Structures are given as C-alpha cells and as structure tokens.
Structure 1
Amino acid sequence: MLSNLLFIITGLIGLITTFLIFTNYKSNRIMNLYIILFILIISLRFFLSGLTNFVFDSNFRTTYFKYSNFSLIVIPICYLYFKNLSENNRKLNSKELLHFIFPVALFLVTINRDYFDYNSKQIEIIIYGIFFIFAITYVILCFRLLRTTIWTRKGDIKVIQKQNKLINNWTLFLFIGLILTISRLFISISKEIYFDESIRGHSYQWISALIWLTILFKILRSPEILYGYNVLHQKINENKNNTLVLNDIWKKNTDIQLNNNQHLVLKEKIDSNIIDYIKEIESISLKFELFRNSNLTISDLANSLKIPKSHLSYLFKYHSTISFSEYKKVIRIHDAINQIEQNYLKNNTLDSLSKKVGFTSYNPFFTSFKEIAGVSPLEYYKMNKADFEE
C-alpha cells in the first residue's frame, strides 16, 4: 500500500514537472522534446502502477501489467535527449525513429510470448536477456556521447563555464539515475529467476521511485534546468554585479617575490594602483574598438591609456594569468560573442565576423573561439537562435 502511494505521488510530481518543462522548453536549451517524453512516460508508468492497488477492476490490472513494458522505449529516448542536447538541436529528425524499431519489436514479442510453442519460462529468460544487452548497449552509447561531446566542454568565459558546469552536472546526474534504475531492474529479474517466480521485474520498484523522485526534485529546485540558463541575460547581470568583469584573469595579490631590481622598482610604483589599472584596461577593452586592430601591440594599449608601457608589461607578467597576446584573443572573442548575440550573423558570415573583431583570418578565430567559449562559433550561434526567434 505504501509503495503504491509512493508511485502515485512520484507520478503526479512527474506529470507536473512535464507540464512546467513543456511551457518553457522552446527557450530552454537544456530541455527538448525527448526529455519531455522521457519524464512523461516514466511518470505515467509510476502513476498507473500506483493505481493498481486502489482500482479494483481486474481488467485494469491485467492491462497495465501486460503493456507496462512499453516503457522500455525510454532507454533510446534518453540517448536521443543527450544526443540532441550535445548538438544544440531542437528539431526532431525522422531518422531517429530507427532507434525505436528494436524496443517496439521486443515489446510486441513480450506481450505475445504466450503464442510461442516453447517453454514460457525459457522464452521469458531469453527475452529479458536480450533486453539487458539492448539496455547495456545504450548505456555505453550514452557514456561515449557524453564523454566526447558534453563532459569535455570547457570555456574561459565565466558565464559559459557556469553553463557548461550546469549541463555537465545535470547530464551526469541523469546518467547515474539511468544506470541505477537499470541495475535495480536487473537485480529484480535475477532474483525472480533464481527463486523461480513470475518474471515481472517489479521487486524493489520503490527504489526506482525514489531515484526518479530525486531526479524530479533536482529539476524542480534548479530554475536553470527547469526554465533554462539564458546566457545573454546572465552575462549582462554578472557584468553589472562585478567591479572587475574579467575577474578570473587578474591576480590582485601584491605579495610577489621578485629578484629583478628593475621590477622591484616598478612594484613599488604599481602596487597601490593595481586595481585602478585593471579597471582602466577592462574599460577600454570592453569597448572593443581598440582591439579590432589586428596589429594592436601593448605599446598601443599603453598609449591609449596614457600608462607607461613598462607598467603594463609588469602587470601582464605578474598580475595576469594569461599573456597580453592571450588577453587580446579573450577580448576579441568577447567582442564576437557580443556581435553574435546582437544577431550579426543574420546578414554576415563567420569570416566577416572574424575580421571585424580583429583576427587576420577565420582559422585562428575558430580555434580561439572554441578554446575560450567551449563551443564553435556556429554552435554558439545556434544556442542563441531561440532568443532571436522569440
């Protein structure tokens, strides 16, 4: 009775979560139609499973137990969710229907196994053996996909680092939930076979319900997952709230051990002005215009700021995590991201964008963009398309 009540509660929370995701998924890059189907099918299964103990119609129970295994299609659905998430794809592809041929065929064999002229128990064992091979195959596919496309994403820009970390943690959380659920089913069926019981896989189903509830609460208590992590608005808000926009680049600590006498003299002059210098550098940098000059040197920056070149050289040597050359790339990629978010690519090419922000050609622009933003320029543009279309 308590287990059935848990199933009903799990199902209802899942259906509510499905509705909330559906109302926002078009502007939410983390969610797509596959995750909606995934949550809907599992939630309905738990809800109907819970009702079997409260509905006294034997036909309802018989029908549920006969067709409940249709939920095995959630395994390829989970894979397709990860695949479309990694590609920032929001449209269904008809070729993806091929993933459902085998699970649907296996389901049809399962519900019609009584018509085979073989020992029913042996048929069940074979069917479930095939199912676990199928499930393990998709778990491996999911792992390889996540490891090569999502979990390896990096970015030097603070807000993109946060977005990538959010997606990494969420996909890892869901992937672990999938493995635990399949493991529970494997243990349940193995136990039923060992004790010569009817094979249904319903033993310890309350564990799956708790796993699923944990996933649902993870979604509901994380607005970034439920409603989406809006890169543009988050970036603007973070820039408003930070005195130093490129905070991760700078080392503001003045406790530096120096052996060079010339640098010791510079240290005495610069230490009290470090924060002011950094603010001035950022201020002119984030106007972008100066850095659009592909031949920009540290002398040019010093002249524009009316700061001695030696002071800037000292600053980038001892108070920056990157060189001036790398700093130019970071600013230019910030500029490119700003242009993309203003829909520059609607009427212009990526090659044009690369030259506009100060790169001499597209190849170094592409390499720098992917290194700093964690995705290619085209992928980033696709990520922002939802904002343009609204």
Structure 2
Amino acid sequence: MILNLLSFFVGSTLLVLISIILMNHKKDKNLNIFFLLIMATAGVQRFLNGLEVFELFESFANPLQRNLFFTFFIPPLYYLFFHNLIFKNTSSKRIVLHFTIPILIAILSSIFNPNLVILKAIFLLYSSAYIVFTGLLIREKLFQNKNYKELIHFQSIKNWTLIIFAFSFLIYFLANYIFLNYSNEEGQNVLINFYNITSLIWLFIIGYILKNPVILYGEQLLLEKINTSTKEEIEVWRNKKKGDSEKDDLEVEKKVKGKEEEMIFAIKKSEHELLQNFTDLPSLKQLAFKIDYPQSHLKYIFKYYTYCTFGEYQNILKVKYAMKLIQSGYLDTHTIDSLAIKCLFTNRSTFYKNFKKQTGFSPTEYQIDTSSN
C-alpha cells in the first residue's frame, strides 16, 4: 500500500513538474522535449495506475496495462533525449527514423501475432541495442578531447547526463526483468511492481530537478532572475541589449542571434579561469580563438551587451584580480607597487586610477573595508 501511494504521488508530481517546466520554458529554445515525454510517460503510467489501484473512479481500467507495445517507444525516447542534450538539437529525420522502428514492430506484431516469448526476446535485443548506442554516444562526446566551446557545454551537462544514463540503465534492467517474468495472467501485478520499484528511482530524479532550478525554469529565465537579484562588484554585463544595432552590425547580429547567452557564459567561464592563473591578458583575437567564436561576434557582444569597451574590460579584469588578492590578505605582506605589477599594470599611478574608478575605493581603503566586513 505504501509503495502504491508513493507511485501515485510520483506520477502526480511528475505531471505537475511538466506543467511548471512548460510555463517557464515558453521562450527557451533549449527545452529538451524528449525529457518531457519521458516524464509524461512515467507520470501518466503511475497516475492511471493509482486511479485503478485505489478505485478512485468506478470501473476504471488502466489502458497501459492491457497493451505493452508502448514500451517499445521508451528506448528511442531516452536515446533522443541524450542526443538532444549533447548536440542541443535533433533533426526531424532522426526523430522519424527512431520512432518508425517501434511503429513497425507494433504493425508486424499485429499482423503475425508472435507469442509472448518472441516479443520478450525482441524487446531484450531492441532495448539492449539502444542502451549500448547511448553509452557509446556519451563516451564519445563527453570523454574525448574537444574545443573550448564544447568543453563548456559538456561540463555544464555532464552530471545530469551521467545521472540520467545511470537511471535509464536501471530502467532498462528492471524493464527487461519485469518483461521476462510477465505473463498474461499476472500482467497487472507485475506492472504494478515495476511502477512501484521505479518510483523510488524517480523520487531521486524529482529531488535532483528541484535542487537544480535551471531544469525547471530554463537557462534563459534563470539567468534573468540571477541578473536581477544579484549584482557584480564591478558591473560589466547588461541585462538587455543596448538599443538597436547599427547598420554596419546587422549582418553580424543575424549570426549572433540566439547565441548571446551562450557566448557571455563562455566569456565568463574564461574570465573565471583567468583569475585563477593571472599571468597574461588575452587580446580579443586570443579570446575569440580560445572560446571558439569569430572575433566579429565578440566585438558585437562587447558593443551591445556590456557597459565597457574590450580595452576597459581588460582593465576591469586586472582590478578584479587585485580585489581578489586584497581579499586574500596580499597587502598584509606586500606593497601596493608589488600588487600593481602582479596585476599587470605598468605603474602604481595607472593601477591606483583604475582601481579607484572601478571600485570607488583606493586599494588601502578597499583593504580596510574588506577587513571590517
């Protein structure tokens, strides 16, 4: 009874989460529709099962327990989810190809009416092929050498990818175990046990989703929330684009459109790494090469999405590094001249002028303010 309640709760929660995700992802091009379909399948299965088990509606019979052919659609759903997550999009041809296979299986089964043993063998081979292909896809794309842009993307999805793959492997194992033990006489009880056991796994996935709001709200909406609720010590990035593009920038605008957040994230990632090992400042050309975007695209981003020119941004990086060193107690044992040199300023005067401009404090005043806080 407790597991049945848990299964019904998980199914209902998944359906609620789907509605939340859909409401918040209206403008998000990165919405992975396949994960929503996976959630919808699991949610509907458990919700309908709960209606039948607890007899919430008189004479209600769960249609998904009378026909197991829908299970052949689950393996391609998971594969397409991973493909879309890794490549950020999936072609219509690929989608049609992968869903044609289970449709053909269903049609051929209805024509030739194979016995249950043959169906079990087909499902075992079919689902095993998908789990192997998925594993190879993840291994190839997540664990091989890649350029900086791909590295940023794969680092951001790595944990989620591995968690869902481990989850899908457990589902694969349990589904085949359940299917191999399935019989027409005990079919309903076997499926109820499957829903109950896998609901424990889904409970973990629900917890992970709730702890990672980017899944619920979408990257775009979450970034907007973060930008409006937090403020950088030195304000660099605009919440919205600065006015309309000039005539000379219209061609670049077409190429950059839809990639703005991705590019800003890549620049911030590069900045974070630079501040960990501040030995040299990259030029615009070097930064473009590192994050694997055309130089003209970076010029556009700095022109319309920052409060500074690229040259000013370089000075801001120097000041940010100086702030980091002061916060760590650098001036307790070193001079301001030493700090200026370490932050790549040519002299104390230039350092002092830029530091005061960006922070509103002199280095000494900032040290005192930091210590008092």
The sequence identity of aligned pairs, in percent, is: 22
Aligned to 2:216: 226
Q: Could you tell me whether the CA contact under 8 Å between 2:21 and 2:217 is conserved in 1?
A: yes
Query: What one-letter code is carried by the residue in structure 2 that aligns with 1:104?
Result: I
The answer to whether the Cα contact below 8 Å between 1:38 and 1:77 also exists between their aligned partners in 2 is yes
Could you give the per-residue CA deviations for residues 64-121 of structure 1, whole angstroms, max 9, x where no partner exists? 421365244122112112222333227x6155222123323444677x69x95x8xxx
Deviations 1:189-217 (A, max 9, x none): 44557xx9735642353221111221122
Cα 1:249–1:95 shift into 2, 3 Å: closer
| Structure 2 residue matching 1:249: 3-state secondary structure | helix
Give the number of aligned pairs: 267
Letter in 1 for 2:97: L
- Cα deviation 1:11-70 (Å, max 9, x = unaligned): 111111111222233544653222222211221111111221122778532634213652
Q: Is the 8 A contact 2:148 2:291 kept in 1?
A: no
Residue 233 of structure 1: how far off its partner (Å): 6.8
| Distance in 2 separating the partners of 1:213 and 1:86 | 24
Pair 1:69–1:130, CA change in 2 (3 A): same
CA shift for structure 1 position 163:
4.8
2:186 equivalent to 1:198: yes
Aligned AA (2:40): L
Matches within 5 A, 1:277-288: 282=281
Partner of 1:77: 77
Equivalent in the alignment of 2:265: none
Q: Secondary structure, in 3 states, of the residue corresponding to 2:101?
A: helix
Indicate conservation of the 8 Å contact 2:38/2:78, yes or no: yes
> Which runs of 5 or more residues in structure 2 are unaligned?
236-267, 305-373
Contact kept in structure 1, 2:11 and 2:43, CA below 8 Å? yes
Distance 1:184 1:228 in 2: 31
CA drift at 1:144:
1.9
Of residues 175, 198, 220, the one that matches 1:185 is 175
Task: Confirm whether residue 246 of structure 1 aligns to residue 246 of structure 2.
Answer: no
Cα separation, 2, equivalents of 1:164 and 1:248 = 16
How does 1:29-178 map onto structure 2 within 5 Å?
30-55=30-55, 60-61=60-61, 63-67=63-67, 69-89=69-89, 93-107=92-106, 116=113, 123-152=115-144, 163-178=153-168
Distance in structure 1 (CA, Å) of the matches to 2:292 and 2:116: 62
CA distance in 1, matches of 2:142, 2:41: 25
* Unmatched 5+ stretches in structure 1: 253-274, 286-290, 295-325, 345-390
**C-alpha deviation, 1:148, in angstroms:** 2.2
TM-score for both structures, normalised by structure 1: 0.55
The residue aligned with 2:205 is 215
Alignment partners' CA distance in 1, 2:291 and 2:162: 32
- Normalization by structure 2: what TM-score? 0.57
SS at match of 2:232: helix
Does the CA contact (< 8 Å) of 2:73 and 2:102 recur in 1? yes
**Deviates further, 168-177 or 79-88:** 79-88
Distance 1:225 1:80, change over 3 A: same
- State the alpha-carbon separation in 2 of the partners of residues 241 and 164 from structure 1: 29
CA distance in 1, matches of 2:298, 2:287: 17
Q: Is the contact made by 2:288 and 2:294 (CA closer than 8 Å) also made in structure 1? A: no
Aligned-residue RMSD, C-alpha: 4.3
Partners of 1:332 and 1:101 lie apart in 2 by 37
